[in-house]
Amino acid sequence: MADRRIVVVTAGLGVPSSSRMLADQLGEAARGSLEASGATVSVSTFELREYAVDIANNMVAGYAPPKLEALINEVVDADVLVAVTPVFTASMSGLFKSFFDVIDNTALDGKPVMLGATGGSSRHSMVLDFAMRPMFSYLRARVLPTAVYAAPEDWGAGGAGNGQAVTTSLDARVLRAASELGGFLEDARPEIRPDAPASLPFEQLLAQTKRG
């Protein structure tokens, strides 16, 4: 199996945050699942709060500063994307949504995505199916069947992906999502991107204008 790159993005605002905790569990479980299949795996984790100003400026100016552009390239080039958001006002956070708004809407075509969300009540778990899945479906990503929501009562002993026994429902959901990755990667189509249009020399453009 080829080398695989997992990129994790989390929109948690606190330090530490439950969203980062869930993101770490999902990333490590994904790593373990792919390594069990013989792959060499790297995991890179990014906190969107560190890019908040650049994301806002990009939305206004239409231009990604170098730091944000580097993050977007990491996400686009990843073999697997793990995306985790806290729930605010019954939906994904504005920071999370804004980040994916500034990515080209064809850039995630066919990419396997593991979804996660955290919130103050288990009643918010439907954000995974009513907000996050539709957004990534619009972006034509391939969302894993199992998405993981973590409420306050889910945090306890154990830890998925770190060799400990599965002792909580959260651990079991994380591991189930990670186990689905193998089949998704085997079926993933190689990404074919169109070449950027070449810019003609000024003399040729001028000649075409005159002929028109």
Average predicted confidence (pLDDT) for the chain = 86
Grade residue 161 by pLDDT with cuts at 50, 70 and 90: very low
Domain enclosing residue 97, as ranges: 4-211
CATH number of the CATH domain containing 170? 3.40.50.360
Please report the pLDDT score of residue 183 as a whole number.
77
Grade residue 202 by pLDDT with cuts at 50, 70 and 90: very low
Q: Report DSSP letters for 115-184, one per residue.
A: EEEE-SSGGGGGHIIIIIHHHHHHTT-EE-S--EEE-GGG--S--TTTTSPP-SHHHHHHHHHHHTHHHH
Q: What is the pLDDT of residues 18-47, one digit of tens each?
A: 999 999 999 999 999 999 989 999 999 999
Percent of residues in the chain assigned helix, strand, coil, to nearest 5: 45, 15, 35
Question: Cβ(168)–Cβ(157) under 8 Å?
Answer: yes
DSSP one-letter code for 57: H
Cβ neighbours around 116 below 10 Å, total: 25
Q: What is the pLDDT of residues 56-93, one digit of tens each?
A: 999 999 999 999 999 999 999 999 999 999 999 889 99
pTM above 0.85, yes or no: no
Q: How many folded domains does the chain comprise?
A: 1
